[in-house]
């Protein structure tokens, strides 16, 4: 059972991902589609990118502002496609 209540995103909502947490300005280098959301994070599907466990990211989820996030899990779906789970940072 999930730790947080999950809800469906607005259709075709996307996530812009900046893999460089410390860079300024926000420069997204990846984009993904939101699979589900919660108040603490979301699951995303995107083209495969090089990510490390617990990596800090900056994201813009749908119409929300830019925020910090941490990679919680990642798994390959098929060649060139992956699913990730991120936790929003306060």
- Domain assignment present for residue 31? The answer is yes
Burial class (CB in 10 A: 0-12, 13-18, 19+), 23: exposed
DSSP state of 9: P
- Domain assignment present for residue 9? The answer is no
Cβ neighbours around 46 below 10 Å, total:
19
The model's pTM: 0.86
Task: Report, as an integer, the average pLDDT of 55-83.
Answer: 96
83, β-bridge pairs: 45, 75
Q: Which domain holds residue 84?
A: 14-88
- Domain assignment present for residue 38? The answer is yes
First to last CA, the chain: 24
In tens, the pLDDT along 6-61 reads 556 666 789 999 999 997 899 999 999 999 998 899 999 999 999 999 999 999 99
**Number of domains the chain contains:** 1
What six digits make up the tokens of 74? 């990642």
């Amino acid at each position: 059972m999930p730790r947080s209540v999950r809800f469906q995103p607005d259709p075709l909502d996307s996530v812009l991902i900046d893999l460089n947490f410390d860079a300024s300005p926000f420069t997204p280098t990846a984009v993904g589609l939101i699979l589900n959301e919660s108040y603490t994070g979301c699951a995303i599907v995107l083209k495969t990118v090089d990510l490390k466990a617990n990596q800090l990211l900056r994201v813009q989820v749908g119409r929300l502002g830019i925020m910090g996030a941490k990679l919680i899990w990642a798994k390959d779906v098929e060649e060139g496609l992956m699913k990730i789970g991120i936790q929003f940072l306060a």
